[in-house]
Amino acid sequence: MFKQRILATVVALFSLFIVFGGWFLTNELLDRQHVKLMNKVNSIDFNEKLDVEPGAGRTKTSLSTKEIANILKVWTSDRIRHYHEPYEGQLTMEEAINAANSWLSYFCKNDILPKEILESDFTQTNAFLYDTNPVSQVPAMITPAPDPAYSFWSVNLINREVSVQLMINALTGEIWMVDISSSSLEVNFDNIKVWDVLEQYEKYFGLFSSDEPKREEAYASKSYENNQIGITVYKKAGESGHYGTIHFSLTSTH
């Protein structure tokens, strides 16, 4: 009988040891993992581009229509975008901003867009490079984008009244989307013919199509290369009754 009691006591104590031991062990392991995470130093490599010498030209890279269509599909999808440093072959920030300014200058000086946009004093100019490829685990070691053509620079030229946003393909440097909004009465798009804008934009890309375009007062679109890609231009009126927004972009029609 006495032996039974001793055994019962030993068993009870051992059970308590197992129960609390399990709890403490779990806590201890979690704490160790926590400390390990806290002390870990991660690094991500990238290929830093030296400053571009003024006047130095970039090697122009062109994409096929199919490639353009695929990239546009990804850009307009819900895929998460991440900032990143420029990959090999991509535009630097300076090149992207210069490309944006050059393009805008050209379109304004040739009366495709209101000259008043150029005359606006942009208080803010910023550019962000986005990657639309899925991100692997962070920190990741050298992981150049599977395709650098899928990144884009978003260049924004902003002041109190006018905002210009351009999406530039990071590999080719072409402007694939433009969004201009104005709350200024002096800068409006009432006299801008969307069809003219489309034609000029068409020329910018060197596209040609015999397809019949869709044309309305504030909307125009046309497809190219057997309906693989298209150009869409539209303008919207603001509260003032003037057309305060214009948007034109390359689109994937496939």
Partner 1 sequence: MKLFVKIFLFSMIVLSAALSLSGYLLIMSSYKNAVVQETQRAMDQYQFIKFLIQSDIINQQDETDKNNLSDLISASLSNMENQNLTGLSNGINYVSVFSKGQKSIYSTFPSDLDFKISDYDVNQKIINKIEQIQGRAYVEVLGKITQSGQAVYLLTATDIQSVIDQKEGMVRNFGTIYFITIGIGIVLVIIFSTLLTRPLRKMSAAAGRIADGNYSERLRVLSNDEIGELSKMFNMMAETIEERIFELSNAAKQKEDFVSNFAHELKTPLTSVIGYADMIYQKPLSREDTKNAAAYILDEGLRLEALSIKLMDLIVLNRQDFVLEELPADELMQSIAGTLKPLLSNEKIKFKMEVVKAYIKVDYDLFKTLLLNLIDNAVKAGSTEISLIGEIMQKNYRVSISDNGCGISADEIERITEAFYMVDKSRARKQHGAGLGLSLASKVAEIHGTRLEFISTPGKGTVVSLSLPLEGGGVSV
Other Cβ atoms less than 10 A from the Cβ of 154: the count is 18
> Binding to partner 1 by residue 6, rule CB under 8 A?
no
Other Cβ atoms less than 10 A from the Cβ of 239: the count is 7
Interacting residue with partner 1 among 2, 5, 41, 55 (CB under 8 A)? 41
Interacting residue with partner 1 among 5, 40, 57, 212 (CB under 8 A)? 40
Measured CA to CA, the distance from residue 26 to residue 46 in angstroms comes to 39
> Binding to partner 1 by residue 45, rule CB under 8 A?
yes
- For residue 154, what are the β-bridge partners? 128, 167
Token pair for 48: 């830093």
Burial code of 207-228, b = ≥16 C-beta within 10 A, e = fewer? Answer: bebeeebeeeebebbbbbbeeb
- Compute CA distances 224 → 76, 168, 204, whole Å: 19, 20, 14
Nearest Cα neighbor of 117 from 182, 66, 21, 70 is 182
| Residue whose tokens read 């994409």 | 63
Who contacts 35 (Cβ-Cβ below 8 Å, separation ≥6)? none
> Binding to partner 1 by residue 240, rule CB under 8 A?
no
> Binding to partner 1 by residue 58, rule CB under 8 A?
no
Of the pair 54, 206, the CB lying nearest partner 1 is at 54
Interacting residue with partner 1 among 9, 47, 64, 102 (CB under 8 A)? 47
> Binding to partner 1 by residue 55, rule CB under 8 A?
no
Query: Under rule CB under 8 A, which residues in 195-234 are in contact with partner 1?
Result: none
**Shortest reach from residue 238's CB to partner 1, in Å:** 24
Interacting residue with partner 1 among 6, 9, 13, 34 (CB under 8 A)? 34
Of the pair 29, 185, the CB lying nearest partner 1 is at 29
Sign of the dihedral defined by the CA atoms of residues 87, 88, 90, 92, in that order = positive
Query: Under rule CB under 8 A, which residues in 97-156 are in contact with partner 1?
Result: 97, 124-129, 135, 137-139
Q: Which residues bind partner 1 (CB under 8 A)?
A: 7-8, 11, 14-15, 18-19, 21-23, 25-27, 29-30, 33-34, 37-48, 50-51, 82-85, 93-94, 97, 124-129, 135, 137-139
